[in-house]
Amino acid sequence: MAHLAILGGGPGGYVAAVRARQLGAEVTLVEMDALGGTCLNRGCIPSKALLRSSELAQLSRRLGEFGVRAEVKGIDWPRMIERKTEVVSQVVRGVEFLMKKNDVRVVHGRGRLSGPKTIVVETGDGEEEVRADAVLLATGSVPARLPLPGFDGPGVLTSTELLDIDEIPQRLAIVGAGYVGVEFADVFNAVGSKVTIIEMMPQIVPTEDPEIAAELARAFRRRRIEAHTNARVSEVSDRDGAKVVRFTRDGEEKEVEADVILCAVGRWPNTDGIGLQEAGIEMDGRAVKVNGRMATSVPGVYACGDAIGGIMLAHVASGEGKVAVANALGKQAEMDYTAIPSVTYTHPEIGSVGLTEADARQRGIDVRVGRFFFRGAGKAVAEGSREGLVKVIVDAASGKVIGGQICGPHATDLIHEIVLAVYLGATAEEVGGMVHAHPTLMEPIMEAAEDALGMAIHK
């Protein structure tokens, strides 16, 4: 029986462990913290728990609009944090159960490579050496820090620290408007903070389609979330007990005062101190360099997830882990990034897949673009969720759906119909021709596909 050793128990590592057992391998999983990695413990799951609380806080202010008379006494932040911790504990216990159910041996401690196929683990009882036929590196990532004056001082937090903050800050400044930054902006605005976002790119959520980003920006403005784009931060300083963020925008020096600053400028592969150089593994900057089979430069050593850079999302790590395991155990597999969904859990939500309109045109693809706004969908109007739109990107030559973007209610769920279309090579005619139930939030996808053909009914 082949033996696979996995360094890191996040969404890449623990999913790979289960898959390896399904394929008949013996598995040892090394994790220095709680199983589930950053996603389950300090990222995806705890932030979604807080976002759910913030969504209810926002909705409570609109109850009169729906004919409901109720008294909302305010925000119980300690209970929100407590519930977040309960949710995390429950999900982590689920992963622990999966490891026991699948007979995965878990070693808790800090691991490092001492050779191509050997991991030395510093446990509470000393050192343990794990030898295997193949090794998978799934060590995840850590929050990036700006190398600017004041960013290493008190009151400047990463997402990890902000998740456990004791009190709601009256004023929160967020440097960086990627998905982490805008999700925390959503949470803290809903619970009463004055939120200011500072982003160096021309739009918030810089990797999204400009129309989608503009929809979220409009929603944020209505909620009085202030956003400075094209803004380059220079330093953080202190003034009369407050933090001050200084930045330049359009050649003009500006500043924002805050009680707490969130540094949300991305994440770095967590690859320091795990023996990569000693094992002779080729790197790409901070990231482990791999090919499409998730193989490193050293035979028998594979890597996946945030440790390899690229698309640093939990579900991508899981997919890469499955590919790595297949190849480590003698099968043939290659990672396909064609139909990877990207999701942002703001209100309204964002979901994207495949090519944007700009991406396609830059590649010289002649495209047809279909759009449908949620305000034209009866279910969205009935629910009071009229913000946003669906965009469908269609290759004009083949008629195939090659991308799509949604900003609106439940976009993170709805995007998967377009993901499936991209993955299976479905045409706009097929998506638009499929009968969708009425009234549902899925109908705007049908209408957008038909709009790309000039055939939308309700537009």
Active site residues: 438
- Report the chain's C-alpha Rg in angstroms: 23
Bridging pattern class, strands 231-239 and 226-228: unpaired
Q: How far is Cα 106 from Cα 96, in angstroms, rounded to an integer?
A: 9
Neighbours of 88 (CB within 10 A): 19
Structure tokens given for 138: 């799934």
Q: How far is Cα 343 from Cα 216, in angstroms, rounded to an integer?
A: 13
Amino acid at position 431, single letter: V
Amino acid at position 242, single letter: A
Q: How far is Cα 150 from Cα 245, in angstroms, rounded to an integer?
A: 9
- Residue pair 401/392 in contact (Cβ under 8 Å)? The answer is yes
- Residue pair 308/323 in contact (Cβ under 8 Å)? The answer is no
